[in-house]
Amino acid sequence: MSPVSHSEWDRPADASSPHEGGFRAQIDISTTRGGPRYGELNEELRRLMDLARYACPPEELTEAMIAQVRALNENLAKVQVDEWETPSGTRIDLPSRGNLTLPPYVVTDGGPDGVIADVTFRPFHLGGNKAAHGGHIAVAFDDLGGLASALKVEGVTRTAYLTVGYRSLTPLDTPLQMRTWVETLDGRKAFVKGTLHDGDRLCADVDALFIALKPGQP
Ligand SMILES: CCCCCCCCCCCCCCCC(=O)SCCNC(=O)CCNC(=O)[C@H](O)C(C)(C)COP(=O)(O)OP(=O)(O)OC[C@H]1O[C@@H](n2cnc3c(N)ncnc32)[C@H](O)[C@@H]1OP(=O)(O)O
């Protein structure tokens, strides 16, 4: 039942594994890993989070649900792989590359000039008063800012700083438009800007620095 330990996933590169040092310079993108129904599994898990976030179960139902979730977790524990082999984060055909922990987004346009994505904060991303939690908005900017800088430098980058301006409330369950782009590229430094809109209304903007990693840099 325990998750994969750090020592198991932080393994050295070998012939079948192109990561260098503790870091993989290229993401091993896929459209098949995890099978054709992996996206459906993710969506059911998101629905579980939505429903759990607002549930107030009576005690007898809580007991039954603990047993059900335990059974689900036991199945998931049987199919653990390391971070380089999991479909999560690599499935470019799925929302947020199949990464369940990110707010679900769909990239509608992406390249060295920037990224445009439709992002929907789910009910479980609630901060308060039906609005999205600011931390989840920052996560979306981090990932899509990281994607914009990766497409610009043609390699993986890492966030050095990320400053979010929360300009107006960000609604849940509403398709929103996020744009991110590299404003200035200075050697390894990609200065990224971004916006989040609900229609014409600006919900948030971002100012971030991503650094292209050197080969072998942990
Ligand atoms: C079609 C589909 C394709 C799919 C394709 C997949 C794409 C896939 C996208 C994934 C998207 C994930 C996006 C999540 C990204 C994370 O969330 S990363 C996790 C969060 N970030 C971290 O943990 C970073 C921790 N910090 C570090 O590792 C190191 O400090 C850093 C940031 C790598 C920099 O260290 P370093 O490489 O030793 O660089 P260093 O020489 O210190 O600095 C380089 C330059 O940057 C400047 N700098 C560094 N830090 C700062 C700072 N905080 N403020 C200002 N300046 C700074 C330095 O002053 C220096 O400037 P110059 O002297 O060159 O002018």
pLDDT in tens, 125-184: 999 999 999 999 999 999 999 999 999 998 889 999 999 999 999 999 999 999 999 999
Smallest CA separation from ligand 1 atom 60, residue: 189
Mean pLDDT across the stretch 51-55? 97
Tell me the C-alpha distance between 122 and 83, whole Å. Answer: 25
Mean pLDDT over each residue of the chain, to the nearest integer: 89
Give percent helix, percent strand, percent coil of the chain, each to the nearest 5: 30, 30, 40
Output the pTM of the full model.
Answer: 0.91
Smallest CA separation from ligand 1 atom 59, residue: 189
Could you tell me if the CB of 54 is within 6 A of ligand 1? no
- How many of the other CB atoms lie within 10 Å of CB of 71? 9
- The SS3 call for residue 153 is helix
Smallest CA separation from ligand 1 atom 9, residue: 147
**Domains of the chain: which residue ranges?**
21-30+80-210
Tell me the C-alpha distance between 144 and 28, whole Å. Answer: 18
Smallest CA separation from ligand 1 atom 6, residue: 27
**Which ligand 1 atom sits nearest the alpha carbon of residue 217?**
37
Residue 26: per-residue pLDDT = 56
C-alpha distance across the termini of the chain, in Å? 29
Report the residue among 19, 90, 158 best suited for mutation to probe ligand 1: largest number of ligand atoms under 8 A from its CB: 158
Task: Calculate how far, in angstroms, residue 160's C-alpha sits from the geometric centre of ligand 1.
Answer: 4
- 119 near 142, Cβ under 8 Å? no
**Which CATH superfamily hosts domain 21-30+80-210?**
Hotdog Thioesterase (3.10.129.10)
- The SS3 call for residue 155 is coil
**Which ligand 1 atom sits nearest the alpha carbon of residue 27?**
6
Q: Comparing C-alpha atoms, which of 117, 148, 121 is closest to residue 134?
A: 121
Task: Calculate how far, in angstroms, residue 71's C-alpha sits from the geometric centre of ligand 1.
Answer: 40
- Per residue in 5-18, pLDDT tens? 333 333 344 444 45
Tokens 């400053």 belong to residue = 163
- ipTM metric: 0.96
Reply yes or no on whether the pLDDT at 25 is more than 70. no
Highest mean pLDDT among 8-17, 21-30, 196-205: 196-205
